[in-house]
């Protein structure tokens, strides 16, 4: 199978990104949002991340946006500025084709290029075994689980925390 093309997201991708995320919010537990944001809100979020030097990528299969991924701030406090949290969403018709892996691999490279030192995965729902396996295969280690911290679809959801050092990680002070 040829490699999946990964490129920086552009404004022209925001309708597809909005659709993919809406499906995840309405039908899944990867996001703890209850109501999907509209395209204007997705556009606002996109521009805020891009203005901050955070990588934002899309995967294309057969000329269609198959999924997207971005790194965003882990927390707002200044001491966290070298740590990012990843988000990956795949169109439900494109699952199991390698887009998630391709996006995460490229996201790790791009985040490291920007000088980030740690990437955190906050995986909504401990039943998200494909996402946990994807992160483990990419070198993330399990850090812990916050049990029953979200409530969606009539049930309590855990948040699984995984972490991966980028570049020199904590072996030296950041530049």
Alpha-carbon distance of 117 to 152, in angstroms, equals: 32
pLDDT tens digits, 112-121 = 999 999 999 9
- Output the pLDDT for position 1: 63
Q: Which domains does the chain have, with CATH numbers?
A: 6-165 (3.40.630.30)
Q: What is the mean pLDDT of residues 144-159?
A: 97
97 sits in the region (left: phi over 0; alpha: psi -120 to 50; else beta) called: alpha
- Output the pLDDT for position 174: 87
The neighbouring-strand residues paired with 13 are: none
Alpha-carbon distance of 26 to 29, in angstroms, equals: 9
Residue 17 predicted with pLDDT over 80: yes
Q: What is the H or E stretch that residue 144 is in? A: strand 141-152
Residue 175 predicted with pLDDT over 80: no
Tokens representing residue 174 in the block: 């950041």
Q: What is the mean pLDDT of residues 22-47?
A: 97
pLDDT tens digits, 37-60 = 999 999 999 999 999 999 999 999
Which pTM value belongs to this model? 0.95
Q: What is the mean pLDDT of residues 141-151?
A: 97
| Other residues' Cβ atoms within 10 Å of the Cβ of residue 153 | 10
Alpha-carbon distance of 107 to 127, in angstroms, equals: 24
Q: What is the mean pLDDT of residues 88-110?
A: 96
- Output the pLDDT for position 56: 98
Residue 36 predicted with pLDDT over 70: yes
- Rounded to 5°, the CA angle 13-65-138 comes to 110
């Amino acid at each position: 199978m040829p490699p999946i093309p990964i490129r920086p997201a552009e404004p022209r991708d925001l309708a597809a990104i909005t659709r993919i995320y809406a499906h995840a919010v309405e039908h899944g537990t990867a996001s703890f949002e209850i109501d999907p944001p509209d395209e204007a809100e997705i556009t606002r979020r996109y521009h805020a991340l891009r203005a901050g030097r955070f990588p934002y990528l899309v995967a294309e299969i057969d000329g269609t946006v198959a999924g997207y991924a971005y790194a965003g701030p882990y927390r707002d406090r200044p001491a966290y500025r070298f740590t990012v949290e990843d988000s990956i969403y795949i169109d439900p018709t494109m699952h199991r084709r390698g887009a998630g892996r391709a996006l995460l691999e490229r996201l790790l490279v791009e985040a490291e290029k920007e000088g980030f030192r740690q990437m955190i995965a906050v995986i909504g729902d401990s039943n998200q075994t494909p996402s946990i396996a994807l992160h483990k295969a990419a070198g993330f280690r399990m850090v812990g689980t916050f049990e029953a911290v979200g409530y969606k679809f009539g049930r309590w959801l855990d948040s699984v925390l995984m972490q991966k050092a980028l570049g020199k990680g904590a072996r030296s002070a950041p530049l």
